[in-house]
């Protein structure tokens, strides 16, 4: 499971890097730049969710060990 989560986080970081290159910083809210910004935000959300999932698994394991 840890390997899968690591791969997914790596893919999200790669998508962030790719989408940042597509943003036209002179007009960021026009055309394809909007799609790229949405892609960056979605990737950040995916990383956040995967991090929360990892932390919840660690907490669950600690609770299991104590009982």
| Tens of pLDDT, residues 23-40 | 999 999 998 999 999 999
pLDDT grade, residue 66 (50/70/90)?
confident
Using an 8 Å Cβ cutoff, are 63 and 28 in contact?
Answer: no
What is the C-alpha separation between 58 and 3, in angstroms, rounded?
Answer: 15
pLDDT tens for 1-21 read 899 999 999 999 999 999 999
The three-state (H, E, C) secondary structure of 16-30, written as one string? HHHHHHHCCCCCCCC
Residue 11: other Cβ atoms inside 10 A: 13
Would you state the pLDDT for residue 60? 95
């Amino acid at each position: 499971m840890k390997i899968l989560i690591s791969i997914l986080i790596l893919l999200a970081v790669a998508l962030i890097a790719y989408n940042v290159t597509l943003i036209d910083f002179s007009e960021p809210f026009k055309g394809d730049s909007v799609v790229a910004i949405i892609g960056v935000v979605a990737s950040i959300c995916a990383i956040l969710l995967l991090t929360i999932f990892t932390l919840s698994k660690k907490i669950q394991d600690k609770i299991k060990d104590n009982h």
